[in-house]
Amino acid sequence: MEEDDLKYSQEAAVAAITDYYAFLTQMYLDESHVVFPPQPWGWPSIANANIVLRESFGKSDEVLSLLAHLPYIQDPSGVAEQAADATPGCIWADWSKLICSHSDNPNQAKSLRVITEGTLPQPSPPHLVGLAHGGDWSTPILILDTTLGIIHWEGCPDRIQWDPEYRETMVDMDWYDAEIPEKEADWRSSAPAWRIADFVEVLKDQFRQLRWIPISGNSVRSTHEELPNEEGMMATLQDIYRQHGWPDLSVYRKSSCLDAVRKVMLERFSESRCYREG
């Protein structure tokens, strides 16, 4: 695949992420947790602060425009740490709030780039932005590129990265042939990438196959992370989802399924790591 084969569209990027959030609401996420820009021109907190952001956050107008037009997952209480997971153990970045709280101080802006961009060499290129917000081992590093229209997944599990089905849609490029700094080429080569819409399908497929399982309306776990005191938890939850029709959305009973999940979690696995009622 040549670089010329890749292109970025803000409209397509917003549509893909909106579609992903809509999918999550079909399975476990409360629809009220997905919030959209209040104005046609986007989130005021981002759109009205471009001059400050350009200096302290160091991102391009394309990145700022994208962040201004994306939907975000928010907890109705307004507490960022209580927002629902969008991938296992991971809250995705709500840039409508993060930018307000970090962008006016250069040191805070740098810290924000680090916790959303992982090992991406700093200062990071202005056309790249992180989608996940965390900072510990469980947080995936998901970097969206607004020049090529792709998302890099640093630390992508081998079982996904080497799955023949997912490799068919993976971006296969020799980054050392691209006109980019060697450190950036090193990073890109170690982090597999997909076009944005293809990336969303990879994530959705983890839920369809119950490799990723919502253990409540707020918490998601990977079946590959079962701990000793959780023996049998993943298989039990997989059975519950299948009994309620998942993944066939035409028959899936979301409400009763989540009630059954909550019941078994409280009765048998309430000490599970990352369990949060929701």
> Are both 33 and 143 inside the same structural domain?
yes
Query: How many angstroms separate the most distant Cα atoms in the chain?
Result: 57
Token duo for residue 38: 């209040």
Q: Hunting for tokens 């997971």 — which residue is that?
A: 85
For residue 274, tell me if it sits in a domain: no
> Are both 152 and 248 inside the same structural domain?
no
> Are both 198 and 248 inside the same structural domain?
no
CB 140 within 8 A of CB 155: yes
For residue 105, tell me if it sits in a domain: yes
Of the candidate ranges 177-181, 185-189, 199-203, the one whose mean pLDDT is the lowest = 177-181
> Are both 130 and 80 inside the same structural domain?
yes
For residue 69, tell me if it sits in a domain: yes
Q: Report residue 218: phi and psi, to 5°.
A: -120, -25
Q: What is the pLDDT of residue 53?
A: 60
Closest to 129 (Cα-Cα) out of 119, 118, 114, 144: 144
90 vs 75: CA distance, rounded Å: 14
> Are both 199 and 152 inside the same structural domain?
yes
255 vs 232: CA distance, rounded Å: 23
236 vs 272: CA distance, rounded Å: 14
**Domains identified in the chain, total number:** 2
> Are both 195 and 229 inside the same structural domain?
no
> Are both 38 and 168 inside the same structural domain?
yes
> Are both 74 and 176 inside the same structural domain?
yes
> Are both 233 and 154 inside the same structural domain?
no
Q: Summarize the confidence of residues 112-129 as an average pLDDT.
A: 86
For residue 179, tell me if it sits in a domain: yes
What is the SS3 assignment for 150?
Answer: strand
Q: What is the pLDDT of residue 231?
A: 85
Closest to 97 (Cα-Cα) out of 133, 125, 56, 146: 133
Averaged pLDDT of the chain: 88
Per-residue model confidence as pLDDT tens digits over 16-60: 999 999 999 999 999 999 999 999 999 988 877 656 566 778 889
Q: What is the pLDDT of residue 188?
A: 94
Alpha helices in the chain (DSSP H): 10-27, 44-47, 50-56, 61-69, 95-102, 106-117, 158-161, 164-167, 182-190, 196-208, 233-243, 254-268
* pTM score of the predicted model: 0.92
> Are both 111 and 151 inside the same structural domain?
yes
Residue 61 structural domain: 3-207
